[in-house]
Amino acid sequence: MPRISESQIQAQYDFMSRVREINSHRGRLAAYIKTFGCQQNEADSEELAGMLTLMGYDIENDAENADIILINTCAVREHAESKAMSIAGRFKLLKAKKPDMIIGVCGCMVTQEGVSANLKEKYPYVDILFGTSELWRMPEILYTRLSTGKRVFEPGKGRYSDIAEGLPSVRSDRYRAYISVMYGCDNFCTYCVVPHVRGRERSREREAVLADVRKAVSEGAREITLLGQNVNSYGHGLYEDYDFADLLRDVCAADGDFTVRFMTSHPKDMTDRLISVMAAEPKVSKALHLPLQSGSDRVLRAMNRVYKRDDYLALVSRIRAAMPDIALTTDIIVGFPGETEEDFLDTVDIVKRVKYDNIYSFIYSPRRGTPAADMEQLPYEIKVDRYQRLIAVQSEMELAFNRGLEGSTIEVLVEGRSKTDTDKLTGRTERGKLVHFSGPDCLIGQRIGVRITHAETFALYGELLDTSLNGSAL
């Protein structure tokens, strides 16, 4: 698998020193990164933060006073794109007050055809732009901007097969680490822009992944999430007889007190070996995100998902036979071109049968350059109506499930103070449910037992067990 050479990466470290030098007379400098989209983008932003930190910028949560702002965009749905553009418009006003400010746009959106040219022409205050394949060259791009004063636009040169190792990274969450195991996607689901903007599937070498896991754990991570657009095809084209199940087993073998999750899994590639490793390894969270997209065979075919509804249901049965308590979550698209009421009801039927812990449902959004964008579209009102009906079905089931937890004691990884009520701590259960409860700061980062006193659809409320305060977590 082509890897960007060490000397090319070293050259970027040299650019980082040069930017630091240019900035050395400017006093304290701050950077603000706004990230849209999935965890892969979050992980990319952590690398951007790592590089900016080495260039002398403090990463802050405040755009107003930033010296550089990077907008890491998503292209999966139109909504994310329009939000990114409206935010760019807001930053224009900030730059008017602070002309030295650098504004950069990167991520999946800028890699699409025509977007870079449009931004160059219509957004004169955007100083730098780089596509996902150019992210590792950010130091060089920023250096060129600072040293020449010219705008630098590098949407991508089709280097999608290359992997950049050895970039610095600053994690945004102390207890959770997102570690990429593979990039890109070869599935070409007909609605999806990802294969077009993130390129072909390629896997990181296992040693690189394992080194990242050990480092994250030694820095205090308690939960590792292995990331990839399609983790189940990890290793294709790289190893003959080493796949994602092997990698997961090796990750679990690392020393330390941590749990492991992974996403995203394509149902067509979920092997029985992977299910056995999940079931056998105590470190693997018994939680799985398994995108269904649609419960109708007709729609699944039009989406190019390759499996049928019965295959999906049989897979769920095999998974539950191996792990009876597993928490399942899924992605569903409603309003795909040609979806009939009957097709939609097939989706609702699967949702009722599987009883997911959570579903992420999306209204189909046509994406330029994908086959489904050229199919005949459904009226918006129909899409919204189905979306609302699906959410209502799921919410009712979730509330009933959560109510069933009242009175029980659940293990929670404490994340920090609740954003909405700082008197409370907030954390998540292994199943991914949010729990709010009162307690001291010293519990942050720990796994403790919480007795659930009250349940709502999206959150649980509870109280600490006395034993948690004595340090004897569940």
Report the site for ligand 5AD in 140-199 (rule: CB under 6 A): 191-192
Closest to 40 measured CA to CA, from 305, 328, 264, 358: 264
Of 70, 115, 192, 299, the residue at the interface with ligand SF4 (CB under 6 A) is 192
288 phi and psi angles, rounded to 5 deg = -140, 130
Q: Does 293 bind ligand 5AD (CB under 6 A)?
A: yes
Report the site for ligand 5AD in 58-97 (rule: CB under 6 A): 76-77
Burial of 440 (0-12, 13-18, 19+ CB in 10 A): exposed
Minimum distance, C-beta of residue 143 to ligand 5AD, in the bound complex (Å): 34
Q: Does 291 bind ligand 5AD (CB under 6 A)?
A: yes
Q: Does 195 bind ligand SF4 (CB under 6 A)?
A: yes
Interface with ligand 5AD by CB under 6 A: which range of 4-12, 153-161, 207-215, 363-371? 363-371
Over its C-alpha atoms, the chain yields an Rg (Å, rounded) of 23
Interface with ligand 5AD by CB under 6 A: which range of 150-158, 162-170, 359-367, 426-434? 359-367
Q: Does 185 bind ligand SF4 (CB under 6 A)?
A: yes
> Residues 397, 401, 407, CA angle at the centre, nearest 5°?
155
Of 64, 124, 188, 317, the residue at the interface with ligand SF4 (CB under 6 A) is 188
Interface with ligand 5AD by CB under 6 A: which range of 2-10, 360-368, 388-396, 421-429? 360-368
- Amino acid letter, 239: Y
Burial of 86 (0-12, 13-18, 19+ CB in 10 A): exposed
Burial of 321 (0-12, 13-18, 19+ CB in 10 A): exposed
> What is the Cα–Cα distance from 303 to 301, expressed in whole angstroms?
5
Q: Does 360 bind ligand SF4 (CB under 6 A)?
A: no
> What is the Cα–Cα distance from 446 to 449, expressed in whole angstroms?
10
- Binding partner selected for residue 136 from ligand 5AD, ligand SF4, none, CB under the kind-specific 5 to 8 Å limit: none
- Binding partner selected for residue 362 from ligand 5AD, ligand SF4, none, CB under the kind-specific 5 to 8 Å limit: ligand 5AD
Interface with ligand SF4 by CB under 6 A: which range of 31-39, 89-97, 135-143, 191-199? 191-199
Q: Does 230 bind ligand SF4 (CB under 6 A)?
A: yes
- Kindly state the tokens that stand for 31: 């950077």
- Residue in the structure block whose two tokens are 């979306």: 387
Greatest distance between any 2 Cα atoms in the chain: 66
Cβ proximity to ligand SF4, 9 vs 375, nearer residue = 375
- Residue in the structure block whose two tokens are 């009102």: 381
- Binding partner selected for residue 188 from ligand 5AD, ligand SF4, none, CB under the kind-specific 5 to 8 Å limit: ligand SF4
Q: Residue 254: which residues within 8 A CB-CB, separation 6 or more?
A: 210, 213, 214, 217
Q: Which residues bind ligand 5AD (CB under 6 A)?
A: 76-77, 191-192, 291, 293, 331, 333, 362, 364-365, 367
